[in-house]
Amino acid sequence: MKFLVVAGTTETATVDGISAAGADPTATYHTPAADLELLEYGDTVFTPSVPVSPSGCPTPAVITRSVRELAPFELLAVESGLATATATPTLTACQQPGGDIREPEPVPTAEESFERARQVGRQLPDDELFIGESIPGGTTTALGVLTALGEPFGVSSSLPENPVSLKQAVVATALDASEIRGGDLAGDPRNAIRLMGDPVLAAVLGVAVGATETGTSVTLAGGTQMIAAGALVRHFGVDHPLEIATTAFVAADETVEIQRAAESLDLDLTVTDPEFERGDHVAFERYCRGEAKEGVGMGGALAFAARAGISMQEIRAQVVETYEEVIGSDGP
């Protein structure tokens, strides 16, 4: 098994109130680069600090890293639109950050990023891939893509109160800017990304398409952004079996109806519950209140750990250890 994490940025994240992936909107530029460092080294190297939300919720990379400590897996970091340097070795699908989807063409590199990632997906020798993501603002671009494809699913949020109407307003402006209507880009996933998405979705689509072309099993490791990725793969015309693995936090989100979305897109859904309410620690507190929920492959990593026979209790203990090492025992 190889665990891919595709990391990038979109200026859409700087819309006030859209994302919790960083202490403030500009700090979110470092978040994906820092997430990759956490996964690779267990700490930040070039990036200034471990990403925490304004309320102190740690990045889901802390959980994915903790799983990796207990059940080592091979990581392949893919860069598609990072805005800052990372010390983690990355396969580069594209170097240009994504623009704000309220502009006419936020992802001019969509085709290039897709093609490179597709070649890589074909080339990977592994039988099985997990694909996760790290991109602040990514649920909004996911909603943009789903809307362009005409797939009527809601999206999750890293904030406890999902700013649904704000996201919908951003997507409505984005449709206007690109002079399209919802559903206009059904069957045209690359243009859906180019006009309404982000560079990470382009690379996720490319790797997933390339991998299925060579018979590799693909698990989309994430929540609603991976629903958008699944929709893109289906609109590309792939009918190969696909898995999606997410957390109980996403499954519990009523805005999302992930079961219905997975069923509609013929994605085989696995939900894993890390039972954070049983862990009495600041690392878990905000997750229990509905923050973060998913990201950086967390749901896939938990499913992988469960399959490897690691208990959720062991994972929680490791999360506490990782948290105290990288953030400190008193929180940020």
Q: Which residues bind a copy of itself (CB under 8 A)?
A: 41, 45-46, 76-78, 85-92, 116, 119-120, 123
Question: If phi over 0 gives left and psi between -120 and 50 gives alpha, with beta otherwise, what is residue 86?
Answer: beta
The smaller minimum CB distance to a copy of itself, of residues 44 and 158, is found at 44
The smaller minimum CB distance to a copy of itself, of residues 45 and 166, is found at 45
Q: How far is CA 237 from CA 46, 230, 231, 282, 297, in A?
A: 40, 11, 10, 44, 25
The smaller minimum CB distance to a copy of itself, of residues 87 and 177, is found at 87
Minimum distance of a copy of itself from residue 59's CB (angstroms): 19
Minimum distance of a copy of itself from residue 188's CB (angstroms): 25
Minimum distance of a copy of itself from residue 305's CB (angstroms): 22
Torsion of CA 111, 258, 9, 232, to 10 degrees: 0
DSSP state letter for 50: -
The smaller minimum CB distance to a copy of itself, of residues 123 and 329, is found at 123
The smaller minimum CB distance to a copy of itself, of residues 71 and 171, is found at 71
**Burial classification of residue 24, based on how many CB atoms lie within 10 Å of its CB (0-12 exposed, 13-18 middle, 19 or more buried):** exposed
Which residue type, as a one-letter code, is found at position 16? D
Minimum distance of a copy of itself from residue 112's CB (angstroms): 10
CB 77 within 8 A of CB 89: yes
Main-chain phi, psi angles of 218, to 5 degrees = -120, 130
Which is nearest to 49 in space by CA: 315, 330, 328? 328
Minimum distance of a copy of itself from residue 38's CB (angstroms): 12
